Amino acid sequence: MDTNQQNDQNLQQYDLIVVGGGMVGAAIACGVAPAGMKIALLEAADQEPVWNAEGVDPRVSALTEASRLFLDSLNAWHGMTQNRVTPYQQMKVWEADGTGHIEFNCDDVFAENIGHIVENSVTLTSLIEQSKQFDNIHWHRGIRIEGISPVLDSQKDAEGVQRQVYLQDGRVLQAGLIVAADGARSRLREWGGFDTREWDYGHEAIVTTIKLEQPHQGTCWQRFMPTGPLALLPITFKGDDHYCSIVWSTTPDECARLMALDEAGFCAELSLSFEHKLGKVLSCDPRFSFPLRQRHAKRYWQPGLVLAGDAAHTIHPLAGQGVNLGLLDAATLVEELTAAWQRKQPLGIEQTLGKYQRRRMPDNLKMMALMEGFKRLYGPVPLPLRWLRNTGMSLVNNTPLVKKQLLRQALGERDGLPENAQVHLA
């Protein structure tokens, strides 16, 4: 057999290759599959994730109504509700260093809930289950990618573009478009040579599940401290509403100290830091910590290659927006790719991908700027600014119109959303 024959045997042709079978990659595959494209979905992990009914996954997300609608359009939401989702109706935010506080209630915008706290494994397993309904989605698990074909330098070349993914086992996968949904440390972003703005927040986040003396009241709680925000997100576990998932963002030194404490010591510190708002913290699951970095690719596409989700942007978890932005990327990409496919246009060209970038980049940048502003404002600041901050927070709390606007944003309502994620409030 000559080398060309061998190469032909190793080449597998697809219409679309999605790299990364996380929440964003799996959602994109499920979203475009009904159009009939032949899709390869590549995931590095050998094992399919499992959801454990007997314990709470330490990684949870506060999903907005826009994300819920999109997941519902993929037929994944129903499966998620069969496992575990916790709706919340209120958010209470206050600061450690003063009297500033703000409270939101879904009744203010005549909505049933503000959002849902969902374990990442619940969302992902339901999307994977859904993806199996489609014969045209081919999962490749436990794969190792060695590289991708080089960047094309002219738009003219892009018209008939075919990009390749080279696997360690010698196989070559080819398609008109590769979607990089391979997470925050995306190798595809690196191989594609995408310029990225990146900086360290100087924060690490501790996540775990805790049991409290008092019920969570269907409320997301957030206390801003000079070292960083502490969030308690309600989880109803086997009908018991005394559980919360925590995201405690703090300085690396403080994180190391908190991680080194034994369970009783950590629970005591947490009760104190949370000002005993829900009584004592009675117990906590094993803790995990993550360094927090902000990243944003300066562009999201090049001929035959597009970035989505954390591969395009990572953001501070203080407002729980990371995967919500990623799911909106997914919903928008699904809309643009499906339309291009139906018009029989190539997927990997400016007309399709440039539009996706124009629709998503301003929204992502706005959210990132907001989070950076929050992080700075609530960090250690001089006394006059602290006074202003306190007054501002309470002022917003007493200004129903501004509060409603913020609440609508929290539900994910804004202009230009894809059809399958549009929130309509009264």
Q: Residue count at the site for ligand FAD (CB under 6 A)?
A: 32
Interface with ligand FAD (CB under 6 A), residue from 115, 234, 320, 348: 320
What is the sign, positive or negative, of the torsion defined by CA atoms of 375, 377, 382, 383? negative
Nearer to ligand FAD, 122 or 207 (CB): 207
Residue 230 is a binding residue for ligand FAD (CB under 6 A): no
Residue 102 is a binding residue for ligand FAD (CB under 6 A): no
CB of 340 to ligand FAD, least distance (A): 22
- Give CA–CA dist 392/371, Å, rounded: 17
Nearer to ligand FAD, 158 or 232 (CB): 232
Residue 295 is a binding residue for ligand FAD (CB under 6 A): no
Nearer to ligand FAD, 203 or 242 (CB): 203
Residues comprising the chain, all counted? 426
Nearer to ligand FAD, 229 or 348 (CB): 229
CA count, 13 A, side-chain hemisphere, 95: 23
Interface with ligand FAD (CB under 6 A), residue from 16, 17, 18, 23: 23
Residue 91 is a binding residue for ligand FAD (CB under 6 A): no
Residue 22 is a binding residue for ligand FAD (CB under 6 A): yes
Residue 145 is a binding residue for ligand FAD (CB under 6 A): yes
- Give CA–CA dist 7/171, Å, rounded: 8
- Give CA–CA dist 426/414, Å, rounded: 14
CB 175 within 8 A of CB 306: no
Interface with ligand FAD (CB under 6 A), residue from 43, 119, 254, 335: 43
CB 85 within 8 A of CB 54: no
CB count, 10 Å around CB of 182? 27
Interface with ligand FAD (CB under 6 A), residue from 51, 134, 166, 290: 290
CB of 24 to ligand FAD, least distance (A): 3
CB of 113 to ligand FAD, least distance (A): 15
Amino acid at 96: A
- Give CA–CA dist 335/317, Å, rounded: 27
Residue 187 is a binding residue for ligand FAD (CB under 6 A): yes
CB of 326 to ligand FAD, least distance (A): 4
Structure tokens at 407: 């609440």
Nearer to ligand FAD, 134 or 166 (CB): 166
Helix count (H) and strand count (E) of the chain?
13, 22
**Dihedrals φ, ψ of 257, to 5°?**
-65, -45
- Give CA–CA dist 202/356, Å, rounded: 32
Stretch that binds ligand FAD, among 1-9, 39-47, 192-200, 341-349 (CB under 6 A): 39-47
Query: Binding string to ligand FAD for residues 232 to 261, with x set by CB under 6 A, is what?
Result: ---------------x--------------
Interface with ligand FAD (CB under 6 A), residue from 21, 192, 234, 412: 21
CB count, 10 Å around CB of 202? 15
- Give CA–CA dist 1/191, Å, rounded: 31
3-state secondary structure at position 313? strand
Between the alpha carbon of residue 380 and those of residues 229, 377, 385, the distances in Å are: 12, 8, 10
Binding site for ligand FAD (CB under 6 A): 19-25, 42-45, 61-62, 145, 181-184, 187, 205, 207, 247, 290, 309-310, 317, 320-324, 326
